[in-house]
Structure 1
């Protein structure tokens, strides 16, 4: 089977999963415990996506300028910098590290 089949299948499954969300009873969504679980899952998924995009290059793990940029952004967040400044600091750090040859 070709790539387009798998892509369309993934789109249909993702849309079906979204539609299933409308079938969840409202009473279940009002539960504070469910709200906490949903919030925690969102943070965990975003954190794992960030790490994978930082250290993965194809099928291998790499330590390049992205890792330094993530570290600089984490330090900026620890100092409670505004989000836009965190992004700028991360991008500038990656640019400087690539400039000095850490690819």
Structure 2
């Protein structure tokens, strides 16, 4: 879960969820008001998770020979699970780190 690097308070799940939707902009800590940024490693993990979700959807459609409806249901389910799990791994930093 996201922890403020300034006051070391744990962010609520709802704030961490909002944080993952806006990676590029800083957000203020709900406890101390200091700007916090998502770390470079968190951004890389989320990109990897997105690639994994895409891989699962594409290859399950190819190898399992699912109908379009079944594939759509699987895609939505995998996407929702990935979005709900992502805030649990958010790490924060006091400084904006370049991705490369």
* Higher share of residues assigned helix: 1
Larger Rg: 1
What TM-score, normalized to structure 1? 0.33
Q: With CA pairs under 8 Å and 6+ residues apart, which has the higher RCO, 1 or 2?
A: 2
